[in-house]
Homo-oligomer: A and B are copies of this chain.
Amino acid sequence: MPGKKASEETRREQIVAAAYAVAARTGIDGLTVRAVAERAGLSHGLVHFHFESRNRLVGALLERVLALTSVLEVSADVAGIPGTLDRFHALLRREMERLSQAPAAVRLFLEFWALGTRDPAVRARISEALEGYRAAFRVLTAEVLRAEPAAFAGVTPDGLAAVAVSF
């Protein structure tokens, strides 16, 4: 049963999607190369062809999870809201809603966090991603403080960003 050829990018995307589905059900430790291959309808050898090792695949999965949980998305409809404070509140609400609608991603993030306590590379990548997330928030909170100084007397941008990021 020979499978058709596909482009590098298509296959990688397909395999990572399968890895996400498998990990959401079995956890990161339960993620096996063979289970991912079966889910994607491919042979396990092919997974090793596109991802040199299981570790690389887990790394790609981490990137997907981070993109789903720790990338600040300023969508067009939110960006169009007039009023600095209203816009900020809408963004916060959007973030909360986005996370609450992807519980699997949040759970996997927690699993990766736990993994990071044992794996320095994972820990470093998560720290970096969170730092970026925090920095993006800091830009917005600084803007809010500039526009509405009265509403947050005595609050620093960093302080507000920390509270906002901790949900």
Contacts and interface: CB of A to CB of B under 8 A. Distances in A.
Contacts of A111: 114
A27 interface: yes
A114 B107 contact: yes
Interface residues of A, number: 13
Interface string A124-166: 0000000000000000000000000000000000000000000
Q: How many copies does the complex hold?
A: 2
Contacts of A10: none
Interface string A2-41: 0000000000000000000000011101100000000000
A27 B114 contact: yes
Interface in A74-120: 107, 110-111, 113-115, 117-118
Contacts of A114: 27, 107, 110-111, 114
B110 A27 contact: no
Interface of A: 25-27, 29-30, 107, 110-111, 113-115, 117-118
Closest 4 CB pairs of A and B: A29-B29, A111-B114, A110-B114, A107-B117
